[in-house]
Amino acid sequence: MSRFTRRITAALAVAALSGVTLAACGSSSSEGLLANIESGQVTLGTKYDQPGLGLRNPDDSMSGLDVDVAQYVVDHIAETNGWDSPEITWRETPSAQRETLIQNGEVDMITATYSINTARSETVNFGGPYLLTHQALLVQEENSDINAVEDLDGRILCSVTGSTPAQTVKDVLPGVQLQEYDTYSSCVEALRQGNIDAMTTDATILNGYAAQSPGQFRVVEMQKDDGSAFTDEYYGIGLAKDDQEGTDAINAALEEMLSSGAFDEFISANLGEGQGITESTPGDLSFMEE
């Protein structure tokens, strides 16, 4: 275990016991990520409602892969520069608000199942990617015979309202019946009750729900006819546009996280086997040109 991993483990244990600062509408300065880490106060954005990724617990502590990654990054940056680890204020960052919160300076950086793409990179900078995931299915562990995309034909498939992943499946299999809910947790409960046959979204999210309910669900990877993954989603860390110093520091921290084995530990602790999730290469954004 590296010194950075030990440092994060200790920090997370303290957070779990004493709680961390959570912000409903707090703000951050616009001086840049590194300046705010040096000042000892940093605001980090993540999800509050995704088990295994970003979850606000009943005691107000935060847990999940994206939480661990963010904590590791800011502590690595602080230690590399000889600064004390900053006090973290957590800010809930729903998907639709991420770019706005960064542009308004309300958060210093965001780790929130944040897929890097060309449109988003026009308004924010991205550190990473730190993982590559793909669209997958969540089914019941024992009562489902769904093992591939084609097994969904004629079945009921759930995702959130307006979901691109669900519509992508229906485009391939017109016989699929779509059931939409406002939240993933509603889909999970419907799957638990046997009211739907499967739900679909990124494998990261599905692994989180599977890990939360051991023995109840399993993740099914999805492949196209040519054997390739259904989709490629590269997760990164969003920060202010043109903050190159901050971006470089994030990438250096992510490189250390991946090479030290800390990332593997985070995956195991939060997402179990982490099916459909692989490491990526920080700083390599060539996939956006494909």
User: Is 229 domain-assigned?
Assistant: no
Is residue 166 domain-shared with residue 127, that is, in the same domain?
no
pLDDT 10s digit of each residue in the chain, 290 long? Answer: 444 444 444 444 434 433 455 655 444 445 799 999 999 999 999 999 999 999 999 999 999 999 999 999 999 999 999 999 999 999 999 988 999 999 999 999 999 999 999 999 999 999 999 999 999 999 999 999 999 999 999 999 999 887 778 888 988 899 999 999 988 899 999 999 999 999 999 999 999 999 999 999 999 999 988 889 989 999 999 999 999 999 999 999 999 999 999 999 999 999 998 899 999 999 999 999 87
* DSSP calls for 44-81: EEE-SEETTTEEE-TTS-EESHHHHHHHHHHHHHHHHT
User: Is 228 domain-assigned?
Assistant: no
Is residue 11 domain-shared with residue 122, that is, in the same domain?
yes
Query: Any idea what the CATH number is for the domain that residue 208 is in?
Result: 3.40.190.10
User: Is 77 domain-assigned?
Assistant: yes
Distance of CA 112 to the CA centre of its chain: 5
Is residue 186 domain-shared with residue 270, that is, in the same domain?
no
Is residue 52 domain-shared with residue 92, that is, in the same domain?
yes
Is residue 27 domain-shared with residue 72, that is, in the same domain?
yes
Query: Cβ contacts of residue 237 below 8 Å, gap of 6+?
Result: 69, 70, 73, 109, 110, 111, 114, 126, 127, 128, 130, 250, 254
Q: Final residue of a domain: which of 161, 194, 221?
A: 221
Is residue 246 domain-shared with residue 158, that is, in the same domain?
no
pLDDT for 9 equals 46
Chain position carrying tokens 């780790």: 111
User: Is 98 domain-assigned?
Assistant: yes
pLDDT for 18 equals 38
C-alpha distances in angstroms, 59 versus 18, 21, 45, 71? 9, 12, 18, 18
Is residue 117 domain-shared with residue 214, that is, in the same domain?
no
Is residue 255 domain-shared with residue 148, that is, in the same domain?
no
As for how many domains the chain has, the answer is: 2
Q: In a 3-state reduction of DSSP, which class is residue 108?
A: coil
User: Is 143 domain-assigned?
Assistant: yes
Is residue 206 domain-shared with residue 258, that is, in the same domain?
no
Q: Final residue of a domain: which of 178, 199, 221?
A: 221
pLDDT for 19 equals 40
CA–CA separation, 229 vs 45, rounded Å?
29
User: Is 227 domain-assigned?
Assistant: no
Phi-psi region of 170 (alpha: psi -120 to 50; beta: other; left: phi over 0): alpha
Is residue 213 domain-shared with residue 282, that is, in the same domain?
no
Q: Final residue of a domain: which of 221, 247, 275?
A: 221
Is residue 199 domain-shared with residue 248, that is, in the same domain?
no
User: Is 260 domain-assigned?
Assistant: yes
Is residue 200 domain-shared with residue 239, that is, in the same domain?
no
Give residue 192's domain range: 135-221
User: Is 266 domain-assigned?
Assistant: yes
